[in-house]
């Protein structure tokens, strides 16, 4: 079977222009791949690259932006694949995102002085969040290509695409081609939820004008960024996208045969990721959202919360696809999460979230409904975190104003529905699947 697939790829490569520019895109090239619909499997961009025998990287010095999620359908990591190549490919640099190259498992990392060296490739590792948002100029001058492969969350709060945007800016400065290996949006490509960030509230966690849940693959998202000139100073990169095969927009990652890799240290499964889309807003409040427990984003509480009374009021909202259960828990700080949880070591009264139908639940609506209701039932105890952090997470001051005005949560989601509709129309020209 493997040889049959490779035969198809070789035929495509020989008899077509692999780098042919789509008629629809001015600055970005979509690499042509064959129709593999007769195979009942989803193939990521990395799987496709392997079937092409890494030919587009032959005899190149490359930089790689990835983390532990860059695995093929057989759970082999990109760096291992590149190491075992016979195409004279040299990994000169690795650019790691938030949470690091290997996430919480740094056993594969060597530290030589103040330099981080990847033990697999021997390449120097550069963090694009802690010291500088940009790769150093001196390493960029050594690169022929930058290769990007990472499992995004599909949620605006994640900083992965923000970091890649900085790479695109640097690549355009040095005329370095960038290849993106596409992967599924782990929450599917249909649902959109949340407001577009207003300019004054943009941050690294709300870097581009997209809803909180955008429903795009990483390839589609970066195609949009590049074509629209959303990088600094309207810079465009020489961007090539290697698409997937056999992924459908209504598929969650869990609906494919692809391996699950936590996209962040605290996101252990699809339900956690789904609720993260809404409940990461709790970081802008004085509520604990399950950090310090084995159920982050799937429970919330505080020592002062009257859980039974709150649940009665919350159930009256009839939120779709979800139910709640009263719980008591004690958050315990751990280096695993590299953060001290709110109410560390204290007994919290709260609710556990039970996802009953992932396709209909609206996590942003659920989270904002809870915040609004708690602020009304516990006006003295409920507080926002300082410096208007909630506005940066939400993308506007709308949520905070609703709470201040004691408005019903049912009136909030219609306020950003226009944003969702307009973005749904806008993104259509950038959808690859």
pLDDT category at 134 given cuts 50, 70, 90 is very high
pLDDT category at 120 given cuts 50, 70, 90 is confident
Higher pLDDT, 11 or 209: 209
Full-prediction pTM beyond 0.85?
Answer: yes
* From 127-131, 142-146, 178-182, 222-226, the region with the lowest mean pLDDT: 127-131
In tens, the pLDDT along 368-402 reads 999 999 999 999 999 999 889 999 999 999 999 99
Looking at residue 253, its pLDDT comes to 97
Q: Which domains, from first to last, does the chain contain?
A: 16-258 (3.40.50.12170), 270-414 (3.90.1150.140)
Tokens 């007994």, located at residue: 347
**Rounded alpha-carbon distances, angstroms, from residue 404 to 288, 365, 370, 382:** 21, 18, 15, 12
Q: How many CB atoms lie within 10 A of CB 417?
A: 11
| Predicted confidence (pLDDT) at residue 168 exceeds the cutoff of 50 | yes
What does the alpha-carbon distance between residue 274 and residue 354 come to, in Å, rounded to a whole number?
A: 12
Looking at residue 77, its pLDDT comes to 96
Q: In what order do the strands lie in the sheet with 322-329?
A: 299-302, 348-355, 322-329
Helix 363-377 and helix 270-279: axis angle, to 10°? 50
Q: In what order do the strands lie in the sheet with 124-127?
A: 28-30, 239-242, 178-181, 145-149, 61-66, 90-96, 124-127, 115-118, 109-112
Looking at residue 114, its pLDDT comes to 79
Do β-strands 124-127 and 90-96 pair in parallel, antiparallel, or remain unpaired?
A: parallel
DSSP labels, 125-178: EEETTTT-SS--HHHHTT-SEEEEE----SBTT-SHHHHHHHHHHHHHHHT--E
Our measurement of the distance from residue 14's CA atom to the centroid of its chain's CA atoms, rounded to an integer in Å, reads: 35
| Predicted confidence (pLDDT) at residue 70 exceeds the cutoff of 90 | yes
What does the alpha-carbon distance between residue 111 and residue 119 come to, in Å, rounded to a whole number?
A: 10
Q: How many CB atoms lie within 10 A of CB 400?
A: 17
End-to-end CA distance of the chain: 25
In tens, the pLDDT along 323-347 reads 999 999 999 987 655 678 999 999 9
Q: How high does pLDDT run on average in the chain?
A: 91
Residues 6+ apart with CB under 8 A from 184: 42, 44, 217, 244, 247, 251, 252, 253, 256, 258
| Predicted confidence (pLDDT) at residue 275 exceeds the cutoff of 50 | yes
The DSSP symbol for 64 reads E
| Predicted confidence (pLDDT) at residue 10 exceeds the cutoff of 60 | no
């Amino acid at each position: 079977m493997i040889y049959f697939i490779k035969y198809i790829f070789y035929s495509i490569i020989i008899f077509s222009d692999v780098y042919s520019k789509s008629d629809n895109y001015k600055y970005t090239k979509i690499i042509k791949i064959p129709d593999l619909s007769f195979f009942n499997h989803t193939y990521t961009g990395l799987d496709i690259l392997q079937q092409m025998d890494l030919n587009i990287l032959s005899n190149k010095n490359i930089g790689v932006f990835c983390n532990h999620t860059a695995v093929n359908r057989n759970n082999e990591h990109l760096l291992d694949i590149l190491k075992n190549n016979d195409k004279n490919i040299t990994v000169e640099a690795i650019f790691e995102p938030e949470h690091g190259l290997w996430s919480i498992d740094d056993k594969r990392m060597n530290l030589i002085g103040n330099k981080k060296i990847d033990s697999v490739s021997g390449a120097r590792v550069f963090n694009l969040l802690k010291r500088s948002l940009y790769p150093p100029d001196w390493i960029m001058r050594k690169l022929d290509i930058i290769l990007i492969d990472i499992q995004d969350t599909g949620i605006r709060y994640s900083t992965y695409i923000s970091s890649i945007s900085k790479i695109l800016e640097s690549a355009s400065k040095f005329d370095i081609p960038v290849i993106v290996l596409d992967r599924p949006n782990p929450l599917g490509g249909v649902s959109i939820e949340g407001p577009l960030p207003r300019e004054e509230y943009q941050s690294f966690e709300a870097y581009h004008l997209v809803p909180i849940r955008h429903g795009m693959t990483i390839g589609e998202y970066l195609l949009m960024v590049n074509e629209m000139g959303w990088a600094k100073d309207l810079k465009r990169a020489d961007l090539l996208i290697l698409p997937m095969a056999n992924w459908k927009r209504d598929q969650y990652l869990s609906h494919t045969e692809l391996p699950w890799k936590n996209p962040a240290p605290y996101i252990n499964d699809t339900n956690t990721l789904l609720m993260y889309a809404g409940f990461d807003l709790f970081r802008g409040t004085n509520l604990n959202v399950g950090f310090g427990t084995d159920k982050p984003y799937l429970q919330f509480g505080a020592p002062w919360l009257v859980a039974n009374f709150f649940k009665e009021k919350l159930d009256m909202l009839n939120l779709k696809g979800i139910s709640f259960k009263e719980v008591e828990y004690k958050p315990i700080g751990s280096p695993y999460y590299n953060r001290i949880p709110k109410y560390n070591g204290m007994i919290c009264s709260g609710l556990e979230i039970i996802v009953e139908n992932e396709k209909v639940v609206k996590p942003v609506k659920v989270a904002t409904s809870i915040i609004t209701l708690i602020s009304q039932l516990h006006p003295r105890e409920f507080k926002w975190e300082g410096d208007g952090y909630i506005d940066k997470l939400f993308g506007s001051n709308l949520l905070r104003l609703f709470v201040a005005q004691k408005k019903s949560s049912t009136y909030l989601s219609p306020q950003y529905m226009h944003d969702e509709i307009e973005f749904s129309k806008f993104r259509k020209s950038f959808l690859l699947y």
